Amino acid sequence: MASRRELLQCAGWGLGSLALTWLLRQDGVLAESPAAGELPSDLTRLPDAAGPPGGRARHVILLFMGGGPSHVDTFDPKPLLSELHGGEVPASIARDVPRIARSPLTNLLASPWKFSRRGQCGLEVSELFPHVARLADDLCLIRSCRHDTPIHAPAEFVALTGTQVGNRPSLGAWLTYGLGSDNDNLPAFVVCRAHSETLRPPTIGTGFLPARYQGTLVDAERGIPHLQLPAATSSAGRRAQLALLDELNQQHLQRHAGHAELEARIRAYELSFRMQQAAPEAFDLAAETAETRRLYGVDQDATREYGQQCLLARRLVERGVRFILLRSGGWDAHNNLKSSHEKSCLGTDQPIAGLLTDLKRRGLLDSTLVVWGGEFGRTPAAQGGGQQAGRDHSPSGYSMWLAGGGIQGGQVVGATDPVGYAAIQRPVHPNDLHATILHALGIDQHRLFYRHQNRKELVTVNGGQVLRELF
């Protein structure tokens, strides 16, 4: 039988071990164990049938328009702006406008473009999008998106991570963590952007999720960087090199259990080898027919770059990639609204319409959710004057649209005030949109979580409202 002194000594060691374990977990050195009756947080996956009824999408293509497209010039017509051009916002409207927008409520600017009703649904679309307008019956337009951040970087963080801080996982990382990929030879989360566009790392990053869920940046024309084997290196030789490297890495990992970056690096080596076999075929846009390349505008200078991105997105969906982010910049029209938006729309309109058309005719649109929009909209008031006039940032009310993935097209959800400053009917926060995207994929937002610092972290932070009328 142990003496009282021995019992106290053992108890002290036990308490010390508990404290040490807690400190190691706080530093990320020791992985957390699951609570009773719970899956390990890194294995909280949901099978296709586990989510809410009606989840039909398996893939997401997010067409992100960096800089903030003007909703009142694209998908939210405001005839009153023409009547009030150059004047002030009426007091009856101004009292309900949040003071987030930095521009004064004066010098209203009528849209330079006409709107017309398109499709059987009669959706009003600007003449800036003649090709997309022909697919109006496939679009579900949300005219009441809103948040509280009028600055680009934090607004992008809100749009793609749920908060403006930039320290949370991106939507693509969450979906990759929750659903994985249908193709073991390609990344589950792919990011493609214009060569000249700024990329903000948190928008494709993993936050507190393991590093292996980060987006892979690719070039639609040249594919994944540094993928080709060096000269005189055979596939068998590279396989042997990676086998040795993996053995050494695994030994190192055993001494640093729970080191997410190290685990991600080991997985990246293995995926890189598999991609060297599979990616060249996936990125071979020349294998497409001339008709398909024309459909996306790859044969024209103005649409070639974004057309290649959209065509690549369809090829990646066919090969099981889960989340594809296509970025298009140039929408930040503080001046020269007319010339900048005409250029941006010219470069993206036909490729986007080509993508929707191609997905639909191949039977892929029903299982692919396509989302269009930016980090915010733009104010109805002018910055500057004359032909050089532009518009300021406006997070209080802006437009986005969704198509495919079980979405009911040909409808409009929500509304902004009569001049377009703020959402006044069915306001939709980015977290609501994220909850809706999860719903389209058959996932309950409250069931997909990651345990971080003893808290169940959700994609939607504290929960979003699913827009069930979209389905």
One domain for residues 134 and 250: no
Tell me, yes or no, whether 323 lies in a domain: yes
pTM of the model as a whole: 0.83
In this structure, what DSSP letter does residue 438 have?
Answer: H
Q: Which amino acid is at 238?
A: R
One domain for residues 264 and 316: no
Query: What pLDDT does residue 465 have?
Result: 96
One domain for residues 99 and 109: yes
Bridge partners of 381, per DSSP, are 108
Residue where a domain terminates, one of 282, 304, 324: 282
Range of the domain at 234: 225-282
One domain for residues 264 and 197: no
For the chain of 471 residues, list the mean pLDDT of each consecutive stretch of 10: 54 44 38 35 41 71 97 98 94 82 78 97 98 98 96 97 95 94 87 83 94 88 64 71 73 68 66 64 90 97 96 96 95 96 98 98 97 97 89 96 97 97 96 97 93 92 95 94
CA distance linking residue 371 with residue 381, whole number of Å: 27
One domain for residues 215 and 338: yes
Distances (CA, A) of 218 to 73, 222, 263, 282: 31, 8, 22, 12
User: 384 phi and psi, to 5 degrees?
Assistant: 80, -165
Q: Is 91 helix (H, G, I), strand (E, B) or coil?
A: helix
One domain for residues 113 and 233: no
Query: What pLDDT does residue 55 have?
Result: 66
Tell me, yes or no, whether 29 lies in a domain: no
Query: What pLDDT does residue 15 have?
Result: 43
One domain for residues 435 and 368: yes
Tell me, yes or no, whether 292 lies in a domain: yes
pLDDT digits (tens, 9 = 90+) for 15-32: 444 344 333 333 333 333
**Domain harbouring 154, CATH code:** 3.40.720
Q: Which two tokens stand for residue 268?
A: 């990246």
Query: What pLDDT does residue 431 have?
Result: 97
Query: What pLDDT does residue 433 have?
Result: 98
Count of structural domains within the chain: 2
One domain for residues 262 and 167: no
Instruction: State whether the Cα torsion 17-19-25-31 is positive or negative.
Output: positive
Tell me, yes or no, whether 379 lies in a domain: yes
One domain for residues 320 and 192: yes
Tell me, yes or no, whether 4 lies in a domain: no
pLDDT digits (tens, 9 = 90+) for 406-434: 999 999 999 999 999 999 999 999 999 99
How many Cα neighbours within 13 Å face the side chain of 114? 4
Residue where a domain terminates, one of 244, 262, 282: 282
One domain for residues 254 and 112: no
* Strand intervals (E) in 329-410: 368-373, 377-378, 393-394, 398-403
For residue 85, what are the contacts with CB-CB under 8 A and spacing of at least 6? 108, 109, 110
One domain for residues 258 and 325: no
Query: What pLDDT does residue 260 have?
Result: 65
Q: Mapped to the 3 state alphabet, what secondary structure does the chain carry?
A: CCCHHHHHHHHHHHHHHHHHHHHHHHCCCCCCCCCCCCCCHHHCCCCHHHCCCCCCCCEEEEEEECCCCCHHHCCCCCHHHHHCCCCCCCHHHHCCCCCCCCCCCCCECCCCCCEEEECCCCEEEECCCHHHHCCHHHCEEEEEECCCCCCHHHHHHHHHHCCCCCCCCCHHHHHHHHHCCCCCCCCCEEEEECCCCCCCHHHCCCCCCCHHHCCEEEECCCECCCCCCCCCCCHHHHHHHHHHHHHHHHHHHHCCCCCHHHHHHHHHHHHHHHHHHHHHHHCCHHHCCHHHHHHHCCCCHHHHHHHHHHHHHHHHHHCCCCEEEEEECCCCCCECHHHHHHHHHHHHHHHHHHHHHHHHHCCCHHHEEEEEECCCEECCECECCHHHEECCEECCCEEEEEECCCCCCCEEECEECCCCCCEEECCECHHHHHHHHHHHCCCCCCCCEEEECCEEEECCECCCCCCHHHC
Tell me, yes or no, whether 248 lies in a domain: yes
One domain for residues 234 and 208: no
How far is C-alpha 171 from the chain's CA centre? 6
Tell me, yes or no, whether 55 lies in a domain: yes
Residue where a domain terminates, one of 239, 255, 282: 282
Q: Which two tokens stand for residue 82?
A: 């023409």
Q: Which amino acid is at 25?
A: R
Tell me, yes or no, whether 17 lies in a domain: no
